[in-house]
Amino acid sequence: MLSKYGFIGILAVVAFGFPVLGLVVAWLLSPKKPNPIKQSTYECGVETIGDTWVQFRAQYYLFALVFVVFDIETVFLYPWAVAYGQLGLFALVEAALFVLILFAGLVYAWRKGALEWQ
Amino acid sequence: MHFVSDLFRNIGLWFHGWLSGLLPGWAVTLIEYVLGVLILLTGALVTVLLLIWVERKIISRLQDRIGPNRVGPWGLLQTVADALKLLTKEDIIPEGAEKVSFNLAPILVVFPTIMVLGVIPFSRGIIGADLNIGVLYIVALGSIGVMATLMAGWSSNNKYALLGGFRVVAQLLSYEVPMVLAMLSAVLLAGTMSMQGLVEAQGGGFLNIPYWRIFVIPLGFLIYFIAALAELERTPFDLLEAESEIVAGFFIEYSGMKFAWFFLASYINTILLGAIAATLFLGGWQGPFVEHVPVLGVFYFAGKTLLMTILIFWIRGTFPRLRIDQLMGLAWKILVPLALIVLLLVAIVIKLPVPPLARQAVLFVSNIILLLGALGYIGRHLRLTAERQKLGGRL
């Protein structure tokens, strides 16, 4: 088992090193002639007005919050799915209750309008 | 004849035997691992070079054009020329950009795609590392890609990029839930998260075909495919790089090799979608006569992956882009409830005291009924919305 993770370790080094190598080669080959106009923020030729990092609509964060709930649910369900064959009927009832509670949460968010995009 | 029937594995065994005569055990393992990683990487890069050409040709034909045909025979070397051009382009860093995350983002976007290649099962015994948490490993690495795209959007100091970055968070997070739940149904059916175990569980029956998950839980496959397509940021879910709205989205300020990495990651992800869909739902390397002639498995797997990839290209050439409210509605109001229902259905049917084939029939029929019900619901909803708009009133 441990030697399998040895392979993953070597893969990780290569997966990180390969894009770095590409950037280094590009840095060696590419011309470097910076000027203020070239480096200005791209906005189809129009000069950009104001700060970029402005306050943003809360809608995006609502979805992120709902996501956290469901993502943790799936993390709990994966070990359940693997062990399901060896478990008795109580595993089914337990998981069904777990999923139904979350389903109720989804319905609640839906009724509250958290899933509507205005 | 016996050597040819399991060609790739026998080459590996022969190489292992030859090397073991020369070097101590740990050095043999090390060399084999490094070679394996390099073969995976090279294979992926060559496949991407070819696939970009294939996509451009397919899209051209769909749009009544010829496509690239100047560089090399049939334009085959067009992608190589493009890659060389990008390699020698100037790297522009916009003023006011967060340098560290701006430079790290293209590296982190390529990293998970190459990492996932390590658990793709090409044939029986031909896999980088058959981890017992294979599916979880893939899901976990997918999140790094989301983070990298958000980093790119945030650090560019550009409003289009920031908007693209926010859309990335909203879309990728929303579609990750149904995708992971659909994968969970396949894991539940097999009772293992190991990628080889998942493929083994789909064998047996007439010509090794009837237990492919697409014939057991077709709805699960459909949910996975739609959600994974959204995770790919491809048409019809390409809002986060919509050229006509926010120019290119989160990688608008990237040029040269950094842009090339975003492009490469997107194409490796396309192949991976095909490969994971093939492994989880289309039987992986299972197919007729694979138990007698194992070398066929590699071709079955490659064929299924290629089929899925070409389907994605075809969709790109056919469908218009979704609106953002439709996009979020599809994920949370249709795909997530459906995926949960399919999951519960599988859990219940597994516990039924009937023969496997009967279980499969129950699952298949109920999946089809669910699918038709969902389609009917969407159709009614769309018709009602259209009528409301015709009346001109709001509600």
In whole numbers, what is the pLDDT of chain B averaged over residues? 84
Q: How far is the C-alpha of B253 from the C-alpha of B232, rounded, in Å?
A: 20
Predicted ipTM > 0.95:
no
- Of the candidates A3, A33, A42, the beta carbon closest to that of B252 is on A42
Residue to test with chain A: of B117, B137, B177, B328, most A Cβ within 10 A? B177
Domain that holds residue B154: 95-394
Residue B69, H or E segment: none
Answer yes or no: do B79 and B133 share one domain: no
Whether residue B285 has pLDDT greater than 50: yes
Answer yes or no: do B221 and B265 share one domain: yes
pLDDT tier for residue A46 given thresholds of 50, 70 and 90? low
What is the DSSP track for B28-59?
HHHHHHHHHHHHHHHHHHHHHHHHHHHHHHHH
Residue bearing tokens 């393992």: B29
Answer yes or no: do B329 and B263 share one domain: yes
Answer yes or no: do B25 and B124 share one domain: no
- Average pLDDT (A3-21) is 88
- Average pLDDT (A43-71) is 74
pLDDT of residue B320: 82
pLDDT of residue B164: 79
Chain A residues within an 8 Å CB radius of B101 = none
Answer yes or no: do B128 and B163 share one domain: yes
Q: Sign of the CA dihedral B12, B13, B18, B21?
A: positive
| Contact call for residues B344 and A99 (beta carbons, < 8 A) | yes
Answer yes or no: do B84 and B115 share one domain: no
- Average pLDDT (A89-93) is 85
Answer yes or no: do B81 and B112 share one domain: no
E strands, B291-349, where?
A: none
Answer yes or no: do B178 and B279 share one domain: yes
pLDDT of residue B244: 62
The string of pLDDT tens digits covering residues B364-391 is 888 889 889 888 988 888 888 888 877 7
Q: What is the largest CA-CA distance in chain A?
A: 70
Q: Sign of the CA dihedral B379, B382, B386, B387?
A: positive
Chain B (233-252) residues lying within 8 Å, Cβ to Cβ, of chain A: 247, 252
Q: How far is B184 from chain A (nearest CA, A)?
A: 7
Name the residue in chain B with its Cα closest to that of A117.
B325
pLDDT of residue B156: 80
SS3 B209: coil
| pTM for the whole structure | 0.89
Question: For every residue of B116-167, which 3-state class applies, written as one string?
Answer: HHCCCCCECCECCCCCCCHHHHHHHHHHHHHHHHHHHHHHCCCHHHHHHHHH
pLDDT of residue B247: 65
Answer yes or no: do B73 and B146 share one domain: no
3-state helix, strand, coil in chain B (%, to 5): 75, 0, 25
- Candidates B32, B21, B38; CA nearest to A4 is B32
Domain boundary among B57, B88, B119: B88
3-state helix, strand, coil in chain A (%, to 5): 70, 0, 30
SS3 A49: coil
Tokens of A13: 């080094």
pLDDT of residue B150: 84
Number of domains composing chain B:
2
The more confident residue out of B1 and B204 is B204
pLDDT of residue B145: 84
- Candidates A112, A48, A87, A105; CA nearest to B252 is A48
Phi-psi region of B191 (alpha: psi -120 to 50; beta: other; left: phi over 0): left
SS3 B366: helix
Chain A residues within an 8 Å CB radius of B40 = 11
SS3 A43: coil
Distance of CA B115 to the CA centre of its chain: 13
Domain boundary among B66, B88, B110: B88
Q: How far is A10 from chain B (nearest CA, A)?
A: 7
- Candidates B256, B255, B238, B236; CA nearest to B246 is B238
Residue to test with chain B: of A54, A59, A74, most B Cβ within 10 A? A74
- Candidates B41, B39, B52, B43; CA nearest to B266 is B52
Residue B169, H or E segment: helix B159-190
Answer yes or no: do B82 and B105 share one domain: no
Answer yes or no: do B112 and B218 share one domain: yes
Tokens of B101: 């995350």
Domain boundary among B55, B72, B88: B88
∠ CA B291-B293-B296 to the nearest 5 degrees? 100
- Average pLDDT (B316-343) is 85
Answer yes or no: do B28 and B132 share one domain: no
